[in-house]
Amino acid sequence: MAAKLKSVYICSSCGYESAKWNGRCPSCGEWNTFEEEVVEAAPRKAGAKKAPSALNGEDCSDKVRTLSQIDTEDEIRYSTGAGELDRVLGGGLVKGSLVLLGGEPGIGKSTLLLQICSYFGREHTILYVSGEESVRQVKLRADRLGVVTTNLYLLSITDAESVCSTITATRPDIVIIDSIQTMNIRDISSSSGSITQVRECTNMFMHLAKDLEIPIFLVGHVNKDGAIAGPKVMEHIVDTVLFFEGDRHQSYRLLRAVKNRYGSTNEIGVFEMLDNGLSQVENPSEMFLSGRPCGVSGSCVGCVMEGTRPILAEIQALVTKSGYSAPRRTSTGFDFSRLAIILAVLEKRAGLFYGSLDVYVNIVGGFRLDEPAADLPTALALYSSLMDMPINEKLVSFGEIGLGGEIRSISNISQRIAEAQRLGFEKCIIPKMSLRQIDPRRYKIGIIAVSNIRQAFDYLKKERGIS
């Protein structure tokens, strides 16, 4: 007798299942996220018994342990050999963890994982499961990247159950699955890459990683919106979600932790894509500031904190006469809503006029500034471009701008000043309220404390000899 098929609708945002299509998900509230999945209906046997009671489950009281009985003295992290990746992971790869690595096509996901196999292969065995390439193709890529190790084992297969059986039989130290969208479970009738397949395969690998204490890397594709493809519940299942950012046409890549159960989500890793693979950038500030123009208006250096690391980046602004009835506002690497607020404050509190002018803001190097400390250097760059007045290339600034035009204090002020001084900057504009956190006599760099944006603009004019 032919198996009966039925349709279920699954929300791609949260994984909520429904028997009918809904315009809006009743669970997460997102619109137009339901996708149809055709599954095989389980036949109902005659005289089937009711589901067993919870009281009939297995007694696991012998497995219950107190917190003090759990031994954590043994090393529970692996070093990946890439300091930038270790930083983002929170100090290394935790045993038994499930790590999801996502990013745009060609951004360097498979390249990074194959490169770290050289370091892992010195003391550990690695199983690299490829559902997209044959083992010969993986070998060609390994030769190009200079990966040489005898402990790297390759397997080209897409059956998730066979992968789990192989892992259980061989017991490798680390497993890499490239990619989760190519894996499938035979008992599920939907195709590979569907929401049901991705969710159930991820769940299967999660249980395997926990039971055998084997860390597993999963490579994830992204959809047209830039989010990791598959239901959001997949990101809840895994322990760590890493995301590669950057323009594939540029050489620099940023690795960011969107979720991390074993470390901070504020840390970032910086890599550069070269002919022979990804190279670590241990000093991102110098990278972002390289090639700065001198004597050009509309450029100012700011400092943001990414976890425990201060990073200096160049903010460029261009204010020019508009050729349209409605002036354009464009920002790259800077929050557009925040830019609109800064422009409104500059017009209201500083008496500047941007209403009929096009405004473009760009963060050099493909970096993204999403911290309020970038407000002040952005305002200075906008003022510099409007007045066509270059800012001293040895000046750095950071501070949050309030709606009243005041410069509010920020955190980690000492780390930011120390980083600016190390890179050879001579002047630093900071919020006046932040002086309570530091002793200016400890620094060789000149510190200028301002309480509002007018004082910051007055200092720029004073430096240029403008009264």
Could you tell me where the beta strands, DSSP code E, fall in 364-445? Answer: 395-397, 400-401, 407-408, 427-431
Task: For residues 154 and 136, give the distance between their C-alpha atoms in angstroms, rounded to a whole number.
Answer: 9
Higher-pLDDT residue of 342, 30: 342
402-459: per-residue pLDDT in tens?
Answer: 999 999 999 999 999 999 999 999 999 999 999 989 988 899 999 999 999 999 999 9
Q: What is the pLDDT of residue 248?
A: 66
358-417: per-residue pLDDT in tens?
Answer: 999 999 877 888 899 999 999 999 999 999 999 999 999 999 999 999 999 999 999 999
Give the Å distances, CA to CA, from 246 to 104, 105, 129, 263, 379: 9, 11, 26, 23, 25
Q: What are phi and psi of 395, to 5 degrees?
A: -110, 140
268-325: per-residue pLDDT in tens?
Answer: 888 988 888 899 988 888 888 888 888 899 999 999 988 788 999 999 999 999 988 8
Q: What is the pLDDT of residue 77?
A: 87
Higher-pLDDT residue of 342, 64: 342
Q: What is the pLDDT of residue 319?
A: 97
136-150: per-residue pLDDT in tens?
Answer: 999 999 999 999 899
Mean pLDDT, the chain, whole residue set = 88
28-83: per-residue pLDDT in tens?
Answer: 788 888 777 766 654 544 444 444 455 566 778 878 888 887 776 566 888 999 99
Percentage of the chain lying above the pLDDT 90 cut: 58
Q: What is the pLDDT of residue 98?
A: 96
- Whether residue 376 contacts residue 430, with contact meaning beta carbons closer than 8 Å, is answered with no
Instruction: Encode burial over 96-126: b for 16+ CB neighbours within 10 A, e otherwise.
Output: bbbbbbbbbeebbbbbbbbbbbbbbbeebbb
Q: What is the pLDDT of residue 299?
A: 95
**DSSP bridge pairs for 38:** 7
96-153: per-residue pLDDT in tens?
Answer: 999 999 988 888 899 999 999 999 999 999 999 999 999 999 999 999 999 989 999 9
201-234: per-residue pLDDT in tens?
Answer: 999 999 999 999 999 999 998 876 667 777 677 8
